[in-house]
Amino acid sequence: MKTKSRFKIFRVSSVLFILLFVNQLITAQQTYEFPFQNPALTVDERVNDLVGRMTIEEKISQMMNGAPAIDRLGIPAYNWWNECLHGVARAGLATVFPQAIGLGATWDEDLIFRVSTAISDEARAKHHEFVRNGSRRIYQGLTFWSPNVNIFRDPRWGRGQETYGEDPFLTGKLAVQFVKGLQGDDPKYFKTIATLKHFAVHSGPEPERHSFDAVTDERDFRDTYLPQFEMGIKEGKAYSVMCAYNRYNGETCCGSSSLLTGILRTEWGFEGYVVSDCGAIDDIYRGHKVVATSAEASALGVISGTDLECGSAYRNLKESLNKGLIKETDIDVALKRLFTARFRLGMFDPPDMVEYSKIPYSVLDSEPNKALARETALKSVVLLKNENSTLPLKKNIGTVAVIGPNADQTFVLLGNYNGTPSDPFTPLRGIKEKLNGQSEVLYAQGSNWVAGMPNQKPEEELKSEALEAAKKANVIIMCMGITPRLEGEQLRLSIDGFNGGDRTRLDLPDVQQQLIKEIKALGKPVILVLLNGSAIAVNWENENIPAIIETWYGGQAAGQALADVIFGDYNPGGRLPVTFYKSVNDLPDFSDYRMENRTYRYFKGEPLYSFGYGLSYTTFSYSKMKVAKKINSGDTLTVRVKVQNMGKMAGDEVAQLYVSDNSASVPVPIRALKGFKRIHLNPGESKTLTFEVAPDAFSVIDGNFKRVINPGQFIIQVGGKQPLKNSADTESGILKKMITVI
C-alpha cells in the first residue's frame, strides 16, 4: 500500500509539474515578443536569439561606443564609454577619492575594495537616475574604463598619476580589489563592468602614442608588463580589457591577435570583451600605417579580437565585408560578447530582478562616502621627512602662513578622469577649519606653477606677498608641486619641464624652487607639502627643509587629511608606490622600454626616496621571523613575523616582504615585492603577521621565455621599508632569512 500511495503521489506531482511548466511556456509566449526578452532563458540563448534577428547594418552599429537604439527589437541606445578611475567621472556630482597614484600609496587592499564598492554604488545610482529621465548618453552607462594598470616605469610619463605605481605585484593586488568592488558579487548580474587598461606595454611618450612602437624582450614583457593584467583577469575576473594606442614589437595593440587572442583568451582564459582606446583603430592605418585604409584597419581589429571600438572607424566594416576582408561570423563573435555584457548587467530584465538597480540615489555624495574619501586621503599621505620631530605642530602655534600655488586650487586636488565633489577641501581651507581661530592663518599664492604659463600674475608681485606673510608667521606651510594641467593625457603644452603632457625634468619648476629658498632664508620653520601625480626630485629641499609631506592629488578631502596630519590628529602611514629619483639623468631614455635601471626592481643607483618608503610619528619593531629553511618547488612559503608599536602614538605600519633570487642563471630583479600588509597598532601593541608567499615568487623567465620555478637560494626580507643595500647585507630594521627551494 505504501508503495502504491507513493506512486500515486509521484504521478500527481508529475502532472502538476507538467501543467506548471506548460503554463509558464504559455505565459512566456504571451508576455514576450521575442525569446531574448525572456529572463528565464540562459544568457547564451538570449544573446544568440537577439544577434540572429539583427541585420548586418544593425550589428555593425552596435560595435562602436555610441550604439544607437534598435527600435524594432526594443533595444535602447547605449554608450559604452564611462570613467571611474577614482570616483564616477565626467557626469557631475560624485564623491572624488584620491587620484589612483594616491590609492597606490595607501598599500591597503581592503580600503581599495571599499572605495570601489562606494564608486560602483554611486555609478548604479547615477545610471538608473539618468535612465529614469530618459537619458542614455556618454558617461551615463555601467561599463567603466578603469582601472589603469599600466606600470609607471618612468616618472616622466604624464599619465602615471592614473596608475597604482611602478610595481606589478602591488598594482595587481590593488587592481584585483578595485575590480571586485566595481563588478560586485552577484552570481548572475554584474554591478558594473571594470576594464583593465591599456593592454599592453603602454606608458608614453604621450605626444607619440598614436605612432609609437614599444619594444621589449620577452623577459621584461612577461615579468613586468603583464603580471598585473593577468592578476586582474584571473583573480579579479575583470570582464573587459582596453587595448592600447601604441604598437608592441611592431604589432598594433588593437590589431594584435597574439595579445588579444593568444595571451588574453588562450593563455589566461579571458571570457569578456575588448574595447579599443579612443581612435586607436584609426591609428592602425593613420599613425602606425600598418594597413592602408579604415576598412582594412577595422577588419584587422575585429579579427584580432577588438570587439568594441571607441570611435567610428567600425562603420567601415560593411566595406570590409564587401571586400572579403572579414566574415559576418567574425562580427557575430564580437557582437555576442558585447550583448553578453549588457544582459549580465541586467539591462534587459525587470529592475526588480536586479538588486543593484535598487541602490538609492541618496548614496551619491553621502556622508559615509565623504568619510571614506577622507579616510582614503589620510591613508595616502606619505611623510617623507620629519627632522627633529618638527611635526606634528601644535594648534595654538601662533600665526601660520600657508603659501604656494597649490594651496587653494580645487582642480589640483582632483587629478584627471575626475568627478565633481560638492564640498572640496583645499589645503588652505583644511588648515583654517582645523585651527578654527586657535592660530591666525595667512595666505599667499607665492608663485605661479611654472614660468611662461598664460594668464598669470607677475612673479615678483606674488613673491612679495608671500614674503610679507612669511615674515609675520611662526611657521610656514608651503603647498608646492605640479598640476593635472601640466602632467596628463596628451596635453597641448610645451613649456620648461613639460611637453605634451609628459615631464622633461624631475625637479620643481624654477619659480617654485626660488620661492622655497627665499622663504627658507627667513629662518622660520618651513613645512613643504607636495601635490603631484609623479615623483619629484626635491634634492635641495630634502637637505634644507625640516619636514616634507607628499599628498598626491588627494581628492575632495585632501585639505582635511593634510591638516589632520600636520596637526597630529592622524599619524601618517602611506608608502611610496614609486621611486623618487634624484635626477632625470639617473634614468634611461624615456622611449626605451627595457626595464634595465628602471624602478626599484632594477635601479642600481641611490634614490632620493625609495619605493615603499614612508615615515611615521611613531616607531615599529620587527622580530621573531619564522620561515622554513627549505621548501619544495611549487610549494607556498609561509612567513611569520611580529610587529610592535614602540612609540607613544597609535599608527599604521605597512609591513613589506621582498624576495631576492641568489641563484638565477638568467636576469632577475634585484629584489621584488611579494607580500604586504597594512596594520594599525596602538602604543605598545604587537601583532604577528602571516605572509603566504606564492610559488611564482620563486620563478624566473627562462631562456625559452617561459615562467618556471627556479630551484636555488632565495633571500626573504621583511620590514617597514624596502631594503636598499645589497640583498646579501643586513640592514637595520629589516629581518632577513635565507631559504632553499629544492
- Residues annotated as catalytic are 277, 487
Rounded to 5 degrees, φ, ψ at 124 are -60, -45
Distance CA 695, CA 601 (A): 19
Confirm if 334 and 341 have CB atoms less than 8 A apart.
Answer: no
| Residues comprising the chain, all counted | 742
**DSSP of 332-376:** HHHHHHHHHHHHHTTTTS-GGG-GGGG--GGGTT-HHHHHHHHHH
Sheet holding 273-276, edge to edge: 195-199, 240-243, 273-276
The order of strands in the sheet holding 637-645 is 620-627, 637-645, 686-693
Which has the closest alpha carbon to 498: 539, 549, 533, 460?
533
> Is the Cβ–Cβ distance between 94 and 420 less than 8 Å?
yes
User: How crowded is residue 108: how many other Cβ atoms within 10 Å of its Cβ?
Assistant: 27
Give how far Cα 485 sits from Cα of 99, 147, 495, 503, 574, Å: 14, 21, 12, 12, 25
Cis omega (within 30 of 0) on the bond before 198?
yes
Dihedral sign computed on CA atoms, order 456, 458, 463, 466 = negative
* CA 573-579-585 angle, 5° bins: 150
For cell 552577484, the residue is 186
Question: Is beta strand 78-79 parallel, antiparallel or unpaired with respect to 66-67?
Answer: antiparallel
| CA torsion angle 460 463 464 468 (round to 10) | 180
**Look-up: residue for cell 601593541?**
685
